[in-house]
Structure 1
Amino acid sequence: MTQPKPPPWKRPLPKARKAPVSLTTAQKNAARDRANAAGRRYPNLVDNMWATKQPKT
C-alpha cells in the first residue's frame, strides 16, 4: 500500500521555476492579434505563452 499524502496546506511550497517574463509591446500586439483571429476579445494564457516565444523586437 502507498502512504497517504499530507493535505496541500501541510505540504511545503514548490520551488520557484523561472522568473516571470514581461512582454514587449510588439509581443502584446501579436498576442492580441492572435486572440482576435481566434474570435476572443482578450488574449488568454496560451496566447501570452506563444507571444513570449516570439522574437523581442
Structure 2
Amino acid sequence: MAARQPPWKRKAPPGKKARTSLTAAEIKAARERAAAAGRRYPNLVDNMWALRQRSLRDR
C-alpha cells in the first residue's frame, strides 16, 4: 500500500476548484487555531481545517 502524499503535494479532487477563498470568520478561526498551537501564522493545515469546518457546517 502506497503512503499518502502530504496535502501540499496532492492535486485537487476532480470536479473541485483548485482554490477557495476563506471568509473573514474562517481566517480568524485559522489564526486562533495557529495561536493555540504556538504558531505565529496559520499554515496550510490550519486553512484546510477552516475550509473543512465550512463543509461540515453546510451539511
**Structure 1 length-normalised TM:** 0.64
Q: Secondary structure at the match of 1:32?
A: helix
Unaligned 5+ residue runs, structure 2? Answer: 1-10
Aligned-residue RMSD, C-alpha: 2.4
Structure number with higher relative contact order (C-alpha < 8 Å, ≥ 6 residues apart): 1
Aligned length in residues: 43
Query: Is the helix fraction higher in 1 or 2?
Result: 2
**Structure 2 length-normalised TM:** 0.62
Unaligned 5+ residue runs, structure 1? Answer: 1-13
1:1-57 residue pairs with structure 2 within 5 A? 17=14, 18-19=16-17, 20-55=19-54
